[in-house]
Chain A
């Protein structure tokens, strides 16, 4: 159903079910998403998910409208997606000019910052559903941005805590050449130091993986992985390959028999299609019914972002964006996210506190923070930069 029709249907239903909603205008959440500039190479056996992020936001709208039947509130999503950053920026400023103040974003850091710094955006809130960049929670933090996705630092800390509990303390780090890989590797290095793990080999992955799909290509890949991993002594191979270029080709091919973790293998992640604890089966099933595919990280981040707005609107019994934003940024906000504890925002950098899953392709291996990693106020703050070490200082 096109969004406009869906919105109309949601509105009609609410009118029928809750007479109180008759006069209420929908609380509209703008969704701004950057589509990949170039379609990914053909991968017919493993196609990329359709509409990642957006479908999570749509599910959250449906969930929140179910609640809205009892509060007389109606929620609607206004998505704008484009592969052209300039077009998105233009759309964003046009929405601002129309008075729109609630935004969910699926954007890279640079574009997100241009929107957050746009004239008039200081009265809006940008709920960042997908960006994991640490700088957005550090030197480049913005008061009007809240982060639903965990940062790379949180992911790295979640993995390092688990390795500490296993006493797997010696690491090899293998870093790819695609955007983000160096940032992921930096987060791993920082976290290893924080938790007293030792990176005993730190190497780049330089092999062009084009041979993989050729007949007999696996021989060549195997030889390359042996070459890249030999001559070092370590417990776990940590891979930094955010674009899935080679990380899945490491397991079982290393020179020594060692497990793989990081962006592939044992993955620290906000969400996983195999998560079934804390009632998450229900969320997974609702998502599958809507999207006909498993729920990804981007879907989960966007679901959380829209649910955050819905929760603020429900708790304040208000459709006023100003009241919703104040509640989102205030001390009473909590969100349930199917991972155990209540989620809250860190006051010092706008990051959503949440447990991090450690997932293999078919099972949840663990959930961090690990037992025994203590904190004076909130154990979730053992993941990522804590208040004393934050580089985020909001402009007054």
Chain B
């Protein structure tokens, strides 16, 4: 990373405002800037999001040679998993993913990042910029009391429900059913929750999985009060229950990609998630692919109402 300026793609820059993050990208070529500005139109130079936004200066640079990382090295349990290691100072992080290498330090006085690719077009491609942003945000929000959850995020009547679950548990299927019934989709893959008032809110982020993008993923900056967290499991029929506090925290932690097994992040993630689970109801849902979204949400609402009536909506 020495003499980064010598390796810049160009002299253009772009500012992306995501929830909790203002990323000032510099060293871009005209092509890179144009494509990024189009793909993230609603997040470009947008009004700063609430709550507290962290400004990060990020320099784009060209790698001297292709990475050529074999796919198995970037895969864990069949899922894409960029290689992560700590920089020698312990505060910085280096990420190697498909076609990119990135470094960042979020807790520094002046948070910084650098994003390198070998081919000009790669930088603005979803495999690079979206994965980089996901990882960056996942590391940025824990000190703010927030978390990035591998989950489906859906909004019904202005209230957000987040459905965390491992890959192939049915998050995208659930999202498609909900979208078809008129729900707003925050993401079918990665969602951001941040503390707000006495509770939490779920934020629109430009991260999606198989479901693809809706307007919220290119221009949404809305946040919605988080009504409930519904832990997803597959089953033959709808079954709903309230997990123990520890199970809730453990399963939420399992759905915090990039940070949940990082020894520098584990303690703060446990702090965040134990707080989250005391402020937002957590229930566990087992359902089949054929269950309608109406029946699923009816079961969720009924369980929440039961918990509310007996005064156990929250842990603690």
Q: Do the two shown chains form a genuine complex with each other?
A: no
